[in-house]
Each structure stands twice: as C-alpha cells, then as structure tokens.
Structure 1
Amino acid sequence: MEIKIKGFQHLGIPVTDMERSAAFYKGLGFENVMASDFVMNGEKGVMAMMQRGDMIIEIYQLPSSLLGDIKTRKDGHIDHIAFDVDDVDTVFETLKSNGYQLIEPAPVFLPFWQKGCKYFNITGPDGERLEFNQIL
C-alpha cells in the first residue's frame, strides 16, 4: 500500500482568544493568509491560517460553549497534523479499505481557501488525529 503524501500541510492549534493568538503569531513573522467562520454544534467558531514561508499554522477558536474543553486540557494544545494530498477521495478509500480508523464517514468540504478544500481524519494508535487535506 502506498499513500502519496506530498508533504506536511499545517498544524492545528485550538485557541481561546483569536485576536490575541493571531497577534502572537504575527509577532513571530506569520501572516494571516486566510480566515473563515465555521459552525460546530449549531454555534459559530472562527479560524485563521497563519503562514510564514512553507509553514502554516491553523489557529481556531471554538464556539464559546465549547471553550471549557480547551482550558482544561492537561496534555498540550496541538490538535492535529495535516498532510497535503492530491486526491483526498482516493486516499480516503485506500485507508478505509486497509482498516484505518476513520473519524468522518466521507471527506468533508469546507469553504476555505479560494475554491474550498476537502479533508478527513483518522485516529492513530495513541489517539492522535491525522488529517488528510486537499486544497481544491
């Protein structure tokens, strides 16, 4: 089995104050190259892709009713590792047919970037979340 991973795409970090975190990463030389709202459990959250050179950090603020989960974490705040792929649907089917633990029932479209993106996640052996993402 060969999965064609082009490279590391981004690192996702949940934050409790989007403005404070965006300013922090801007101070480290990152630029907000894309921001968007999203809906989770019927409530609005916000996200931003902060880029410096080839590095992208996704910072996102969950809806206020879910922020308590972030504040009580004991093991750090890195949420997932994302891999850039050419064909997310093919990767999904390959991993599904090889018995990987899929989180989503199918790749999910998000209106991020210029034309959107599609992604899905798998769970690793220690509960880590790995995202496979295709920018359309």
Structure 2
Amino acid sequence: MELAHVAICVSDLERALEFYGELGFEESHRFSLNGVENVYIESDGEEGDLQLRYDPDRTTPIAPSRADTDHVAFTVDDVEATFETALDAGGSAVLEPTEIEPADAYAAFVEDPEGYTLEFYREL
C-alpha cells in the first residue's frame, strides 16, 4: 500500500499554489466537483500528491488545528534551505532546523499561509 495523496482545504487557491510553487511543487492535474476546485500538486514527479481543495462557497473559516492534524512531513535534501524558502514564500517558523535524536532526523517546522504545519526533514 502506498499513500496516494493528502487533501487540505485552502481559502485562497492562488496563494496556496504560489506558496507551494516556491517550494518546488507543480500542478499535476485538477478537476471541479460540486463547485469545489481540486488541484493536485507534486514535487519532482515523486509519488504522493498534495491535494488543494478550494470551495468558494465555504461559510466556515479554515482553522487547522495541531490537535486534529499535527503536521504534513516532506523529506528534503537541504532542511535549512527549504526552511528559508518557506519563510520567504510567506510561511511562519514553528521550529527552526534542529536535530531530533529520537526520530533520527534533522527537521524544521513551518506553518503555511493557511495555518497547516509542515515538517521538512532528512534522516541523520
């Protein structure tokens, strides 16, 4: 079994595409269903897409909570560079690059413009 994609709701599709585009993601495909725009983005043709769901008729605010979804993790070659790129693209620092020995990882955490927490890591 392989993870196909993770879907997140966004309040501003263009802002989300710009932010993730700065991190190297490209649109792979899109469709609309019942008025909801679904845009799939991928990184360098790797398996596992991120699905951005935009509903222009949504009446409730998008309020990601780490109590419900803690974070979405991405493996990267250069944690520091990706962290800085995410900040420059409009993200907010949650945890600067640091060694996390119990996980055998070097990681940084950033909040995207919607409030989702992203982890960028590499194994030690």
TM-score using structure 2 length: 0.47
